[in-house]
């Protein structure tokens, strides 16, 4: 069960970052890192994605 909940958590994070990039006028997964770093809105999306994804990690350690 932990792997399923971990996967669902990561999927939710991915959905959020896709929506964030879309709101900024970009498509997630197609933007080079240099552009992400130079575009404040995309850098914020990327940081939020990293924070969200890291919050999912505890699910892997939860008891079965």
Q: Is the pLDDT of residue 64 over 70?
A: no
Q: Which residue has the higher pLDDT, 3 or 19?
A: 19
Tell me the helices (H) and strands (E) count for the chain, helix number first. 4, 0
- What's the mean pLDDT in 17-39? 95
CA 59 – CA 51 distance, rounded (Å): 14
Q: Is the pLDDT of residue 40 over 80?
A: yes
Q: Indicate the domain borders of the chain.
A: 2-26+33-59
Q: How would residue 60 be classed by pLDDT, with cut points 50, 70 and 90? A: confident
CA 56 – CA 58 distance, rounded (Å): 6
């Amino acid at each position: 069960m932990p792997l399923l909940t971990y996967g669902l958590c990561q999927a939710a994070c991915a959905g959020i970052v896709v929506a964030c990039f879309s709101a900024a006028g970009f498509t997630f997964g197609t933007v080079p890192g240099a552009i992400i770093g130079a575009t404040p809105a995309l850098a914020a999306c990327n940081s939020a994605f990293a924070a969200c994804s890291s919050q999912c990690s505890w699910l892997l350690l939860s008891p079965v």
